[in-house]
Amino acid sequence: MNVKLTHQSGFYATIENNSGHQIAIDNKSAENPKGASPMELLLMGVAGCSSIDIISILNKQKVVFDSLEIDINGDRVDKPAPSLFTKVHATVRVTGDVKPEKIYRAAELSFTKYCSVSLTLAATAEVSFSVIVNNTPYEPKKI
């Protein structure tokens, strides 16, 4: 895996992967940022990684959903650099004719076993998730 950053101006740069896909990156304190901050990219990575896992798991179970959204919230140390994430919480929202326990299990597997990004962040942050199916929060029953 390899990426290449090309400086544009100020803190603004583009980053390209080996396939030619590009993203813009900037300092969020810039007057008019032209891209995501590096820490926002980490949270975007959690969302992207977990979505791939969840969709893959649901596809294997032949679970068809109408929509999937993942909101990621990150809390950081309130001091100068390095300002690491201390908490990262994902809210997984799914709609459709689906069993909430299957959605929860897919999310659980992603965040505890498969998502390399969230597992990497778990070294310095508490990573958690919640599931909302058809606008109703779902929590598995404790045995």
Residue 108 confidence (pLDDT): 97
Pick the CATH number of 38-138 from 2.40.110.10, 3.30.300.20, 2.60.120.10, 3.40.50.720: 3.30.300.20
Domain map of the chain by residue range? Answer: 1-36, 38-138
**Which DSSP letter does residue 79 get?**
S
Q: What is the pLDDT of residues 48-66, one digit of tens each?
A: 999 999 999 999 999 999 9
Residue 17 confidence (pLDDT): 97
Residue 20 confidence (pLDDT): 97
How does the average pLDDT of the chain come out, rounded?
Answer: 95
CATH code of the domain made up of 1-36: 2.20.25
Residue 37 confidence (pLDDT): 94
Q: Bridge partners of 6? A: 14
Buried b (16+ CB within 10 A) or exposed e, 18-51: eeeeeeebbeeeeeebbbbbeebebbebbbebbb
4 pLDDT higher than 90? yes
Q: What is the pLDDT of residues 77-112, one digit of tens each?
A: 887 778 899 999 999 999 999 999 999 999 999 999
What does pTM read for this prediction?
Answer: 0.91
Please report, rounded to a whole number, the percentage of residues in the chain having pLDDT higher than 70: 100
Please report, rounded to a whole number, the percentage of residues in the chain having pLDDT higher than 90: 89
Is residue 74 a contact partner of residue 43, using CB atoms and an 8 Å limit?
yes
